[in-house]
Amino acid sequence: MVAQFGLLVAFVLLPVYRPPGLHLPFYALYAALSVTLVVEFGAVFLLARGITELGQSLTPLPYPRDDGELVQTGVYRVIRHPLYGGLILAALGWTILQVSLSHLAGTIALFLFFDAKASREENWLVEKYPDYAEYRQQVKKLIPWMY
């Protein structure tokens, strides 16, 4: 949890780095803004639905609550870790808006971190919920319909 907080703070504090001599045409900036809005809307959707649909099972820790339940409905029908996926999409949206190579590296670092964290969490979920192994085979991990 401390590492996650540190990575998110580091991402926010990253300076914008664009390759020297990169000058995007005016229309490209509008395209970047449009793509950013779509990606950020997806991020907010995943985060909001993930939090509300977990309900009592929500915990700041990566292992499941003793009194928690396996949620496989709503947004959890298309992605197993919508909170992690939402944070990755939010970082990607900011990266696109800034056209920043440093933020692209930060987004990749966040993706790798959340992928590893989700894998560890899933070991605990398989132990606690017998249905989780089948669920894991049917639903994407971090990015809906992709990964």
Count of domains for the chain: 1
Cα first-last separation, the chain: 23
pLDDT of amino acid 16: 93
Instruction: Give me the pLDDT at residue 22, please.
Output: 80
| Euclidean distance between CA atoms 93 and 13, whole angstroms | 16
pLDDT at position 34, please? Answer: 95
Gap between the Cα atoms of 96 and 116, Å rounded: 24
DSSP 8-state symbol, 65: P
Tell me, yes or no, whether 146 lies in a domain: no
Residue tagged 């930060």 (tokens): 106
Separation of alpha carbons 35 and 75, rounded Å:
22
Residue 134: inside a domain: yes
- Gap between the Cα atoms of 99 and 18, Å rounded: 7
pTM of the entire predicted model: 0.91
Quote the CA–CA distance of 57 and 78 in Å, as a whole number: 18
CB 56 within 8 A of CB 68: yes
Residue 92 lies in a domain: yes
List the structure tokens of 138: 């049917």
Q: Is residue 133 part of a domain?
A: yes
Domain that holds residue 104: 26-60+69-138
Residue 5 φ/ψ, nearest 5 degrees: -60, -45
Residue 111 lies in a domain: yes
pLDDT one digit per residue (tens) for the chain, 147 residues = 788 999 999 999 999 998 888 888 888 888 999 999 999 999 999 999 999 999 888 888 888 988 989 999 999 999 999 999 999 999 999 999 998 999 999 999 999 999 999 999 999 999 999 999 999 999 999 998 899
pLDDT of residue 106: 97
pLDDT at 62: 84
The whole-number pLDDT of residue 61 equals 83
Quote the CA–CA distance of 16 and 104 in Å, as a whole number: 10
